[in-house]
Amino acid sequence: MKIHPLVVKANGIFTPGYPVHQKDFFSGREDQLQRTLEALIAPGRHPIIFGQRGVGKTSLANILGESLTGVSVVKVSCDGGDTFATVWNRVLATASITFKQHAFGFQDTEAQKTIALGTLLGHDPSTTKPAEIAGLLAKVNQYCAVVLDEFDKISDTNAKAQFADLIKIVSDTVPNMTIVVVGVADNIHELIGQHPSIDRNLLQIELPLMSDVDILEIFASGLHKLSLTVDNSVADQVPLLASGFPHYAHLLGFAAVKASVNNNTNHVDVAVFDMACTLAVQDSIEKYRDAFSKATATTQPSRYPIILSACGYADCDTRGVFRATDVVDAIAKVFNDRVTVQAVVPALGEFTNARRAATLKAVSVAGRKCYRFSDPMMVPFCRLKARELLQALGN
């Protein structure tokens, strides 16, 4: 079986399963990108890029190297088993020859070798001190940056403290070196910890949910690059469905391409987009499909799927918190179905249960029981499921 050439080409434009790696395919976040780039050449300033999962932090980190000339960048991803030493071993293993030459002062022949941290320091790397790494970085003769992606995965509190100490030392002694920390968090202290001595050295770069304009740009510009046109009425639905997450803009864009191919058309109208939304649900991250399935599974027909998908449309505050009455209103608005609060509350309680994937969390606001999604990326998935349910109901 052959894959249609348009679908093959779309894989280089819409990448729901892969962060952006080229600046030409990066959309939005101009302010955050500009502030980060400015910090790369500002002595003593180290960006902390943080936000919810799926908002584009890794994509921003990926394009730093090609966004500013004269700065050598090496990016590594952290994991739960990392220590201070293992991260720096990974930096050495990942670094390009140019970075090794500029940041560590290696000659060309040395830079081409795989050099372990222990060999470089002359002792067991597990006892590596921040001052020793700073001493290596002090050899830098041009602007360089080390990007530590997925820093939130590091569970070793001592390692995080050592990175904080390193940032302090580098800020005071290595003006050409920048440490960029990237991870899932609500604030920078969740990532790096409380270290008053380095507060003035940290630049907070929060990535909020994407604006509707930027979400639409990902979708519409991607289709344009593939010579596909789209109804305005269809394009206008994408920001609402994506809910600020670039992943879903890419997912819907790729699904729209496949639906266009299936319908043998180069124009995405409502009918094509209906198919695209169904394909998007099928191609969604397994974690969310599985969570929805577990949350709504019953032995008898129930309103659970409608109630959970309507939660994705419930009016909420800036933290994503909503009330049972908001879900009732969403059911009426989206499904044109009248239900009582008493019919909804038991289901919401069930959705907080671990055996139903704990899709929701119960929170108290002014003494009243409210709810929010355990994972904010379930919101757009539930909106897609609502559309799928409407199609099944013939609406």
Taking only the tens place, the pLDDT of each residue in 248-282 is 999 999 999 999 999 999 999 999 999 999 999 99
Whether the model pTM is above 0.85: no
Q: What is the pLDDT of residues 201-255, one digit of tens each?
A: 999 999 888 899 989 999 999 999 999 999 999 999 999 999 999 999 999 999 9
Nearest residue to 327 (alpha-carbon basis) of 304, 346, 308, 352: 308
In this prediction, residue 287 carries a pLDDT of: 93
Q: Which of 94-98, 129-133, 350-354 has the lowest mean pLDDT?
A: 94-98
User: Which H/E stretch holds residue 77?
Assistant: strand 71-77
Note whether 46 and 171 are within 8 A (CB).
yes
The backbone torsions φ and ψ at residue 212, rounded to the nearest 5 degrees and listed phi first, read: -60, -35
Q: Using 50, 70 and 90 to split pLDDT, how confident is the model at 137?
A: confident
Note whether 56 and 210 are within 8 A (CB).
yes
Q: What is the pLDDT of residues 345-377, one digit of tens each?
A: 999 999 999 999 999 999 999 899 999 999 999
Domains of the chain: 29-207 (3.40.50.300), 211-283 (1.10.8), 289-392 (1.10.10.10)
Cα–Cα distance measured from residue 87 to residue 100, given in angstroms and rounded to the nearest whole number: 16
**DSSP secondary structure of 31-49:** HHHHHHHHHHTSTT-EEEE
Question: 288 vs 4, 216, 241, 282, 316, CA distance in Å?
Answer: 28, 23, 15, 11, 20
In this prediction, residue 191 carries a pLDDT of: 85
Note whether 336 and 395 are within 8 A (CB).
yes
Q: What is the pLDDT of residues 177-203, one digit of tens each?
A: 999 999 998 888 888 887 888 889 999
How many CB atoms sit inside 10 A of residue 224's CB? 12
